[in-house]
């Protein structure tokens, strides 16, 4: 199975979509946190570190790529297409202000997944037309994980995607244990929680609690 198929299959199957966020990880390095997520059963990992130097990101991604292969998990790199190619990631995730999907496809080829963040019905429809493999839907609620985040889109946009868009998708943005059931109840099968996972000491316990809600 190539990386593109692995990513889309895991997202369509549902569950937790893990992201790195070292500044919220209680002083722990990304490999330690990702290992804990993988041990707990998370099978999609996105590397998202906006401010690190490229050399440091490369070394971390090499380690995380080896680790995710060990667990049969998908590994996705945020924004840095060259980095995704160098470490043989399964996919790359881009935003609305990054390179367009068609240009990314020319770089990554047919065997890697392309995810695109979307914040409106128009952007979701455009993602389908452009050939994205999956979309991010959010931010559902207010979030401080990203510095350049847009206003929350709320559950109404999630309802639209569930009803009208055929692509696999990940619900993201401000999702916590206390509101995860509500998000899942609106049809989100795959959900991304950042600080709720990386920002706790007992990652295994937290992931188990979240998976019980999704089940």
Quick: pLDDT tens for 169-199: 999 999 999 999 999 999 999 999 999 999 9
Fold of 3-214: TIM Barrel (3.20.20)
Packing angle, helices 203-214 and 177-185, rounded to 10? 30
Catalytic residues: 48, 117, 146
Quick: pLDDT tens for 194-211: 999 999 999 999 999 999
Provide the b/e sequence for 112-145 (b: ≥16 CB within 10 Å). Answer: bbbbbbbbeeebbebbeeeebbbbbbbbbbebeb
Q: How many residues does the chain have?
A: 215
Is 116 within 8 Å of 130 (Cβ atoms)? yes
pTM higher than 0.95: yes
CA–CA dist 49, 199 (Å, integer):
15
DSSP 3-state of 95: coil
For residue 121, pLDDT beyond 80: yes
Provide the b/e sequence for 68-82 (b: ≥16 CB within 10 Å). Answer: beebebbbbbbbbbe
Quick: pLDDT tens for 12-31: 999 999 999 999 999 999 99
Is 47 within 8 Å of 77 (Cβ atoms)? yes
For residue 71, pLDDT beyond 70: yes
Which pLDDT value is given to residue 145? 73
């Amino acid at each position: 199975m190539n990386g593109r198929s692995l990513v889309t299959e895991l997202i369509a199957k549902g569950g937790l979509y893990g992201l790195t966020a070292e500044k919220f990880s209680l002083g722990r390095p990304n490999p330690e946190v990702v290992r804990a997520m993988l041990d707990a059963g998370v099978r999609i990992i996105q590397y998202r570190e906006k401010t690190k130097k490229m050399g440091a990101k490369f070394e971390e991604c090499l380690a995380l790529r080896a680790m995710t292969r060990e667990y049969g998990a998908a590994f996705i790199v945020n924004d840095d297409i060259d980095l995704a190619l160098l470490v043989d990631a399964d996919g790359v995730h881009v935003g609305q202000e990054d390179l367009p999907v068609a240009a990314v496809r020319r770089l990554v080829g047919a065997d890697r997944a392309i995810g695109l963040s979307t914040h409106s019905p128009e952007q979701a429809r455009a993602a389908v037309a452009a050939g994205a493999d999956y979309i991010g839907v959010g931010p559902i609620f207010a979030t401080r994980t990203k510095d350049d985040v847009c206003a929350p889109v709320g559950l109404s946009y999630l309802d639209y995607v569930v009803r009208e868009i055929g692509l696999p998708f990940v619900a993201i943005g401000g999702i916590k244990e206390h509101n995860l059931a509500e998000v899942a109840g609106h049809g989100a099968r795959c959900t991304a929680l950042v600080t709720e996972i990386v920002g706790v000491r007992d990652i295994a316990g937290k992931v188990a609690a979240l998976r019980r809600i999704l089940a």
